[in-house]
Amino acid sequence: MARMSEAHMAGRRGQIARAAVAEFSRRGIHSTSMANIIEASGLSAGAIYTHFAGKDEIIAHVARSAIDTVLDGVRDLAAADAPPDPDQVIGLIAERVAAGEVPAGLIAQCWGEAATNPQVRGTANEVYGRALAMLREYAVNWLAGSRGLSRTAAEDLAPSLARALLSLVYSQILHDAVIDAERGEGLARDVARLIAAVG
């Protein structure tokens, strides 16, 4: 049997993930069975299990892909010598969450699943670590390049700023998942006001 190309494998995994996202969003993670995902994907059970060992692995893949998609748009900003202010970064992240293929409500469900599911928890911690490292790099460059701190002082403050920014991102996702008022608004504006007030 011919070996599948990487592109074909990635395409199939994407097809399965999209079917899973649709089913998880419609039914909820716990109410979605592998049979639901198989039927929605239009693939055979054998094809699904070639790419994923089971539902937990699909959940982990969906969570990882969702956050990676959000962070991809921020990586270049993080590495810039004079990156934009935090309100612009948070605003960009909020926009990417709102425009993403994975709804905020499903990201929140994945976090809920991570509380009791070790495989999903491992993915959540892996994604958190990568996001925190990226935002730490951003914080150093912003504090040194835009706020005039020495590199040493910026590196000292960066971990705290990175954790605060990531907490704001997670807060925005949770807010958009469950709160009807001001959906997709508010956080970037509030950060801008706070920076202006203390700056």
pLDDT score of 96 more than 50: yes
Tell me what pLDDT residue 169 has.
82
Tell me what pLDDT residue 1 has.
42
Q: Tell me which of 100-109, 113-122, 171-180, 186-195 is least confident.
A: 186-195
pLDDT score of 103 more than 50: yes
- Name the residue with tokens 């809920």: 112
Tell me what pLDDT residue 78 has.
76
Of residues 80 and 137, more confidence is placed in 137
Of residues 42 and 97, more confidence is placed in 42
Tell me what pLDDT residue 198 has.
62
Q: Are 154 and 140 in contact (CB under 8 A)?
A: yes
What is this structure's pTM?
A: 0.80
Of these ranges, 29-43, 87-101, 166-180, 181-195, the one predicted with the greatest mean pLDDT is 29-43
User: CATH 1.10.357: which residues of the chain?
Assistant: 63-198
For residue range 138-157, list pLDDT tens digits in order: 999 999 988 889 999 999 99
Q: So what CATH class is 63-198?
A: mainly alpha
Q: What is the DSSP string of 101-144?
A: SS-HHHHHHHHHHHTT-HHHHHHHHHHHHHHHHHHHHHHHHHHH
As a whole number, mean pLDDT of residues 66-94 equals: 79
Tell me what pLDDT residue 6 has.
81
pLDDT score of 2 more than 60: no
How much is the mean pLDDT over the chain? 84
pLDDT score of 75 more than 50: yes
How far is the C-alpha of 91 from the C-alpha of 183, rounded, in Å? 13
User: CATH 1.10.10.60: which residues of the chain?
Assistant: 1-52
Q: Are 41 and 15 in contact (CB under 8 A)?
A: yes
DSSP state at residue 30: T
How far is the C-alpha of 110 from the C-alpha of 25, rounded, in Å? 11
- List the structure tokens of 116: 């009791």
pLDDT score of 114 more than 50: yes
Q: So what CATH class is 1-52?
A: mainly alpha
User: How many percent of the chain have pLDDT more than 70?
Assistant: 89
- List the structure tokens of 101: 């293929």
Q: Are 42 and 90 in contact (CB under 8 A)?
A: no
